[in-house]
Amino acid sequence: MMKVLIYAYFTVLLIGLNVLKAETLELKNISSAVEDKLENSQDIKALEDYLSKSEEELVKVEIEKKKKDYISKHRKELESYIENGKNVIPLIYSIFIKHNLPPELLAIPIIESHYKVIAKSPKGAAGLWQFMPETARNFGLKVNKEVDERLDPIKSTLAAVKYFKKLYSVFGDWQLVLASYNAGHNKIITKVSYHGNSFSSIKNFLPKQTKEYVLKFIAIAEATTEIIKKKRLDKEDTNFDIVKVNKGYTFEEISKLTYIKRETLDTLNPHLLKKRIPNDGEEYNLYVPKGYGNLVKALLDDSV
């Protein structure tokens, strides 16, 4: 009899718990007062703010870690890349200042091309800024069988300036500009529309490569500008002159007229793929050794 009573007691208790559980989970049992309280809860808003700030703090922590790691382990590597660009960095620096762009953007070619003017990727990107052909053409560069102006350091930089300004007009945030430069602006527009208009709010929804790209840029930007100023590469001084030419000379003809070695012209002008200036009436940059600019211009004008 005792066993029957104990069994009956626990059966009633369990039924009661199940009823309680069902009532607790039913939406109709949540009063409108509770809904209002949740909606207006300062605690919830405080939590959202905290989580948002926590994301930003996490980004800062990641950046600081990468900065220390990169500078302690890769300082010489960083300096070697800047050495690669020592002949073009002063001009790029002055172009950025002229166009009111942050000089820290000089760190992008370190990541993209190691400051090698003729760098090419397996996917077809080329030059200091690693433009794809379509992007290059969209921003005014010629890319064809005779000319690839992605390999012209000055014209490609002016195209990069237009591109940065366009991206900034869309996002108004340099971290999002960097993410767009790596992943494409359409992808970042989609992420922003779903997850918020800051890098910290979308970073966990980005491809790993893009997230790392932005963090690496921020980590090395400060060290890059520091090294550039230390080497005085922020002063406009190069080892070449630029001559604007719109007539179809071959490098061989230019060499004979000016006594500049043909090999020097080849090295300074990788953007002229056929080793000649196209005879299409368009104006092209001809890079010549420093001090030769006026002479070359005069000789080419006189030879017409």
Residues acting as catalytic residues: 112
DSSP 180-218: HHHH-HHHHHHHHHHH-SSHHHHGGGS-HHHHHHHHHHH
Q: Is 91 helix (H, G, I), strand (E, B) or coil?
A: helix
Of 163, 115, 157, 116, the C-alpha closest to 242 is 157
Question: How far apart, in whole angstroms, are the C-alpha atoms of residue 202 and residue 103?
Answer: 25
DSSP 132-191: -HHHHHHTT--BSSSBBGGG-HHHHHHHHHHHHHHHHHHHS-HHHHHHHHHH-HHHHHHH
b/e map of 227-248 (b: 16 or more CB within 10 Å)? bbeeeebbeeebebbbbebeee
Question: How far apart, in whole angstroms, are the C-alpha atoms of residue 77 and residue 204?
Answer: 29
DSSP symbol at 245: E
Token pair, residue 287, equals 């890079």
At 40, which amino acid appears? N
Of 231, 235, 245, the C-alpha closest to 278 is 245
